[in-house]
Structure 1
Amino acid sequence: MERVLRVLEYEKMKQQLIEHVSSSLGRRKIEQLSPSIDLEEILVSQKETSEGANVLRFKGRIPFGGIFDITSHVKRAQIGGILSASELMEIASTIYGGRQLKNFITDLVEEEERELPLLYGHVQQIEPLLDLEKYIKQCIDDNGHVLDSASQALRTIRQQVRSFESSVRSKLESLTRSSNTQKMLSDSIVTIRNDRFVIPVKQEYRTAFGGIVHDQSASGQTLFIEPQAVVTINNQLREAKIKEHREIERILIELSNHVAEVTSELLANVNVLADLDLIVAKANYAKAIKATAPLINEEGYTLLKKARHPLIDAEEVVPIDVELGSQFRSLIITGPNTGGKTVTLKTVGLLTLMMQSGLHVPVEEESSMAVYQQIFADIGDEQSIEQSLSTFSSHMTNIVQILDKVDFKSLVLFDELGAGTDPTEGAALAISILDDVYNRGAHVIATTHYSELKSYAYNREGVMNASVEFDVQSLKPTYRLLIGVPGRSNAFAISRRLGLNEQIIEKAKAQIDNDSNTVEQMIISLEESQKIAENEQKQAKVIRIEAEKLHRELEDQMAQLSTEKEKMLQEAEKKAAEAVEKAKAEAEMIISVLRDLQEQGVAVKEHEIIDAKKHLEEAAPKLTAQQKKVKKKAEKAKKVEIGDEVKVLSFGQKGSILEQVSNEEYLVQIGIMKMKVNRSDLQLIERTKPVETKPLTTVRGNDSYVKPELDLRGERYESAMLRVEKYIDDALLAGYHQVSIIHGKGTGALRKGVKELLKRHPHVKAARDAAMNEGGLGNTVVELK
């Protein structure tokens, strides 16, 4: 594993990561970092990095200052050692830093309601240890100096020290200012030698002051003398300083004992802070290299979108797309030297190691990566001069070691497999090695120059060709990786561009055998197909965006119309209710008049009853012209049938009935859209006429001739899918039970699209590839319900 980490430059990546740590704790964690093979551990580590990245996005920073690796301090205190003032200050600072970090994450979770379960779980393990921090800070300042307030005894002793120092200085300064003694001094200053105050006296006046000589200058002309007048005070000062030292030592012992009492808590805090420093460093590194969290699986599926090697300058690196483990487990990459083949291998290998180390990787979102139990790499020229091994022997020794260990949970990276020996033998060995590794179930990415391996990938199931693109016009590689297209030799094209005589080039071409020419023509055809597919993909993307835009606009219109319709209905209901109330009032009035007449004994005549009925009829609410129109359209909508041309009233758009979903709903196709519409929202425009069907002959349906087969060759993907849907509807109306859809072989995209559409179509009973006498893989036979 150590060799793989070295050749894939894992350690160089870790050096980049170390730049983002905040303390020596994080540095130590990164130095110990290695890829994991446990899926759960990897998922948790990735989640931690994601949470750290989220915090950076919310707040821009994570407070991690003032934290030190205090492990050795705490362990020494545990066994009875005396900690220095600066060591104790580091312990207090680390306690404070840990508490600040805990409060920061806790506030995010509890007050701002951020989802940070893993970070929150980490910081909840941090013990505040507020009493120890306060005690240390009461005794020691930020510079690691023991304060006078550490104890009353220390305060008193230091007052004595300052008093004695002042007295000594005063007496010595009076000597240096005296005109009688100045001529005896080398300089009018008071200095210190051996922790005692002295004055510089010229050699010839050494006996004038008496006292003690503590030092002399290099020339011997000056003696540093403690005059007899201050010897006693200097002795008192020294005694006071010894007391001070003893009191400071007593205070440090007491503080160290307090540290020893909470050893387990402090060491636990250190471990948590180390983990958090690593998480924060990974989050900051992800931000620096614009990395994302990949989807992770154990199925061996890898899909890297716009992958970038983190050690290549961001301005120069060319993103690549790599897929492995779905339709193929072996990827054979061909192309020119310095074209990017080795970089591709290293990118896949290093990003896999990073992912399994819990780091985000520089790829686009929705990239997926597999977890491998073992990663093997044979990359670069590691020729051993000491063992006198050739390049081939060196590589083969490494490959033999790989083959001894490789299994179905392995990722194997071969660079220039079989190189360094006779081309024929090298190619044969490479094919045999690839077959062996593939048969063991491993996933393989290999680079090669051998043309034999191009046809090997073309003819083997589960093996795919790829190449690094080369621009013949500029004579430079583009570093783009093309999956599905083998690299072709550019020697003739480059020679022609550089001005080599055409006759020489033609003679050289004649020397190449037919098989090589066939392979080159195949590669050229594949490259052209790839470019066509890319262009069609771009066009399809534009059409899809436009369709999505139209769909959104139609949905907005539908919502607006629905709102207006609801509003109109409410207003109509209100008016209807008012009209009914008015009619009731009119009716009551008429009945009341008739009763009054009867009570008065007046015979109610026929014409009066007729007048009363007329009043009642006039009082009844009338349908407006618009309501009559809607009612008429609704009546029409009740009689629609499958295949009818209708108008969707709420949209004002024309469409056709595909099927009846329920008693009240129909599936209607409007352009490229299908939607369910209530029958009250439909107006019949035109009804398809039933036609007689004739087996094995051309019949009429939807007012046009329907053939028993549909030819899609040359069609673009989107338009082809629309034609298939319409054709199946027409074939059903024409009475066919079996039809054929001719899509050709080509790149396989059209065939795959047709298969997917048929699989989900409600009126398709079954679909199969045509037999050889029916057109083979270029034709699909469809059975209709």
Structure 2
Amino acid sequence: MNQKSLRVLEFNKIIELLKSKASSSLGLKYIEELVPSSDFEEVKYMQQETSETQSILTKRGYVGLQGIHDIEDKVKRAGVGASLDPGSLIMIADTLRAARTLRNSLSGSDEEDFNYPIIQSLSNGLYAYREIEDAIYNAIISELEISDNASSTLRDIRRRIVQKNQSIRSKLNSIISSTTYQKYLQDAIISVRGDRFVVPVKAEYRSQVAGIVHDQSSSGATLFIEPMSIVDMNNELRQLRLSEQEEIERILQELSAMVGEVSEDLISNQEILGRLDFAFAKGKLSMKMRGVEPTLNKDKFINIKNGRHPLLDRKTVVPNSVYLGRDFHTLVITGPNTGGKTVTIKTVGLFALMTQSGLHISADYGSSMCVYDNIFADIGDEQSIEQSLSTFSSHMTNIVSILKDVTENSLVIFDELGAGTDPIEGAALAIAILEDVAMAGARCIATTHYTEIKNYALTKDGVENAAVEFDLDTLSPTYKLLIGVPGKSNAFEISKKLGLSDYIITRAKEFIDTDNIELEDILQSAEKNRIKAEEERIKAEKLRESIEKLKI
């Protein structure tokens, strides 16, 4: 897929929205690798996958995807005999529990209408090892703590450690509370240096206390001495602690071996869990956007019903219906600046990219999309100071590249085609470019201000005009797209309402080709008739509803 088009259509922002819906790094990997596909069957499968997760989330409100971790490296290490640390084992147990819970949750065995073949096929492929999961949770409390329940040997060693601690403290308490020792001590407290119990002795009484010096205070006034009477007891305590550590290492090795025996199954789980997280992220995004699965067709047409640009506030964005590819292959949109032309064509392009990425589109049910081999877009101010290219030159460089690669299965989007140069030459170039795209058999949607292109669309088979509506009373666009109606610039009307003198406007019209003035007048008349017809239609609809209520 054309990378420049992905950028100018802001597909990366959709990817960021999708990332925010993932529950794990496994799902994020799939999202980061997501690119639009040009394979019809693959797109169909991806769309169905999204629809299934959207439906499951709608039905249940929640699917447990928490606790999924990327454990592949840890599992591989266990598979070659390495011993894992407690934190790694806890992550493996958490992931095993998530896999088991998901498998049970998505089996739908106790629900008659729970039928989601794609998601259930994935979840049924998950391996569950409850015995490993329970063994890890039974043995490990946290990343830093092994449970006494890990083994009877460990429990016995720790019991003896507690007893030995108590014996040493009892012995030391008798020493520091004796009148003989009190004058030698800096404080009547028991301290620990390294893993040895000591007492704080005044430096000048070093010779009076038999024992081993382990430390001294920063001033040198206090020495921390291990009395000889508890050296053997401290040695025994140290030996017990070494035994405890050996038993912990044995337990971790045993648990790691259990993981290693099923390492291939756990790695398989990783892939499936990532796929499920990715699929449910698509479902969550669809729900957030109030998206729908578009009907896919192989006839190279699109029919978007009340499409809303997914990056705009859905409370304020004006929905528009756009169709292309059946009665006409090229749609030319005209109208005033800031009227919504660019948003409209970006919506079409972005919907195409989203559809081919398996994402739902923010439109109404009944919308239909096709699968293009490539989507080309020339949108925005592409002026390049570094390359000394003007806006026109930069656009033309991009257009040349598009025309070189376009095929009959492509969608081409042009914004302000032919702008940035002499209007007469720009319009002529724009028409020639549209002709070339049409000759290639591609579908095309373009915006323009040129009257010549409006005339071209009026007289050329396969080319249709469209306009963005403008309210002359408020001097503001309504952002509604009207297909079949060429747009009017409204420059004279806007200027008049803003206070420009009539004689200046009259004089300006003298400088415009008579045919162009006549066309603009025809467009204005057609627009007034359309608005009047729409008002009449709304009145008739209300009247019909009133009659229906009276019948009831």
Which residue pairs with 2:344 in the alignment? 344
Rounded Cα–Cα distance in structure 2 between residues aligned with 1:458 and 1:179: 114
- 2: distance between equivalents of 1:83 and 1:416? 61
Spell out, residue by residue over 1:703-731, the C-alpha distance to the aligned partner (whole angstroms, 9 max, x if none): xxxxxxxxxxxxxxxxxxxxxxxxxxxxx
Q: Distance between the aligned counterparts of 1:486 and 1:348, measured in 2?
A: 19
Query: Residues 387, 180 of structure 1: CA spacing in aligned structure 2 closer, same or farther, 3 A cutoff?
Result: farther
Contact 2:292/2:363 (8 A) holds in 1: yes
**Is the CA contact 1:213–1:223 (under 8 Å) kept in the aligned structure 2?**
no
8 Å contact kept, 2:349–2:413:
yes
CA shift in 2, pair 1:160/1:512, >3 Å:
same
The match for 1:225 is 224
CA–CA distance in 1 between the matches of 2:177 and 2:285?
Answer: 65
Cα distance in 2, alignment partners of residues 358 and 71 from structure 1: 27
Residue 290 of structure 1: aligned partner: 290
Alignment of 1:366-445 (within 5 A): 366-445=366-445
Q: Which residue of 2 aligns with 1:238?
A: 238
Q: How does 1:11-50 map to 2 (within 5 A)?
A: 11-50=12-51
For 1:304, what is the secondary structure of its paired residue? strand
| Structure-1 separation of matches of 2:348 and 2:263 | 45
Listed one character per residue, the Cα deviations across residues 24-51 of structure 1 (whole Å, up to 9, x for unaligned) are 2212221122212111111122112212
- Indicate if the aligned counterparts of 2:78 and 2:84 stay in contact, CA closer than 8 A: yes
Alignment partners' CA distance in 2, 1:304 and 1:288: 19
- Superposition map of 1:314-713 within 5 A: 314-538=314-538, 541=541
The verdict on how the C-alpha distance between 1:228 and 1:185 changes in structure 2, with shifts beyond 3 A counting, is closer
Query: Measured at CA, do residues 179 and 49 of structure 1 come closer, stay the same or move farther in structure 2, by a change above 3 Å?
Result: farther
Given that 1:200 and 1:222 are in contact with CA atoms closer than 8 Å, whether structure 2 keeps it comes out as no
Q: CA deviation at 1:109?
A: 4.8
The structure showing larger relative contact order (alpha-carbon pairs under 8 Å, at least 6 residues apart) is 2
What is the aligned partner in structure 2 of residue 306 from structure 1? 306
Task: Report what 1:57 is aligned to.
Answer: 58
Measure the CA separation in 2 of the matches of 1:344 and 1:183: 91
1:330 and 1:464 in contact (8 A); partners too: yes
Using a 3 Å threshold, how does the CA distance of structure 1 residues 540 and 48 change in structure 2: closer, same or farther?
farther
Measured after TM superposition, the shift of residue 517 of structure 1 is 0.4
Report if aligned partners of 2:449, 2:489 keep a CA contact under 8 Å in 1: no
Q: Given the superposition, is the C-alpha separation of residues 213 and 113 from structure 1 closer, same or farther in structure 2, using an over 3 Å criterion?
A: same
Deviation readout 1:244-277 (Å, 9 max, x if unpaired): 2222122212221221111121111121111111
Aligned equivalent of 1:99? 100
Alpha-carbon distance change, 402 to 226 in structure 1, aligned in 2, over 3 angstroms: farther
Measured at CA, do residues 242 and 496 of structure 1 come closer, stay the same or move farther in structure 2, by a change above 3 Å?
Answer: same
Partner AA of 1:111 in structure 2: E
State the shift of 1:224 in Å.
6.6
What one-letter code is carried by the residue in structure 2 that aligns with 1:286? S
Contact 2:10–2:350 under 8 Å retained in 1:
yes
Aligned residues, how many?
549
Which structure 2 residues correspond to residues 89-238 of structure 1 after superposition, within 5 A?
A: 89-106=90-107, 108-141=108-141, 145-172=145-172, 190-198=190-198, 209=209, 210-214=211-215, 216-217=217-218, 220=219, 225-229=224-228, 230-238=230-238
For 1:290 and 1:403, the matched residues in 2 are separated by 36
- In the TM superposition, what are the counterparts of 1:261-272 in structure 2 within 5 Å? 261-272=261-272
Which range moved further: 540-549 or 455-464? 540-549
Give unpaired runs (5+ residues) of structure 1: 554-785
Over 3 Å counting, the alpha-carbon distance change for 1:249 and 1:459 in structure 2 is same
Determine if contact 1:98/1:269 at 8 Å carries over to the other structure.
yes
Quote the offset at 1:68 in angstroms. Answer: 1.6
- Structural RMSD (CA): 2.7
CA shift in 2, pair 1:208/1:343, >3 Å:
farther
Task: Give the aligned residue type for 1:467.
Answer: A
Letter of the 2:366 counterpart:
E
Flag the structure with larger Rg: 1
TM-score, normalization by structure 2: 0.92
Q: Give the superposition deviation at 1:62.
A: 1.4
Q: Assess if the C-alpha contact under 8 Å between 1:127 and 1:269 holds in 2.
A: yes
8 Å Cα contact 2:198/2:227 also seen in 1: no
Alignment CA distance shift 1:222-1:467 (3 Å):
farther
Change (3 A) 1:47 1:545: farther
1:607 aligns to what? none
Using a 3 Å threshold, how does the CA distance of structure 1 residues 286 and 215 change in structure 2: closer, same or farther? farther
TM-score by length of 1: 0.66
Deviations 1:439-495 (A, max 9, x none): 111111111222221112111111111122222332322222121222212222222
Q: CA deviation at 1:367?
A: 0.8
> How far apart, CA to CA, are the structure 1 residues paired with 2:179 and 2:297?
92
Q: Distance in 1 between matches of 2:474 and 2:181?
A: 91
Aligned positions of 1:774-785 closer than 5 A: none
Aligned letter for 1:228? P
Check conservation: 2:197, 2:226, Cα contact below 8 A. no
Partner secondary structure for residue 146 of structure 2: coil
Q: How far off its partner does 1:168 sit?
A: 3.7
Determine what percentage of the aligned residue pairs are the same residue: 48
Q: Distance in 1 between matches of 2:5 and 2:203?
A: 74
Structure 2 CA distance, aligned partners of 1:452 and 1:208? 111
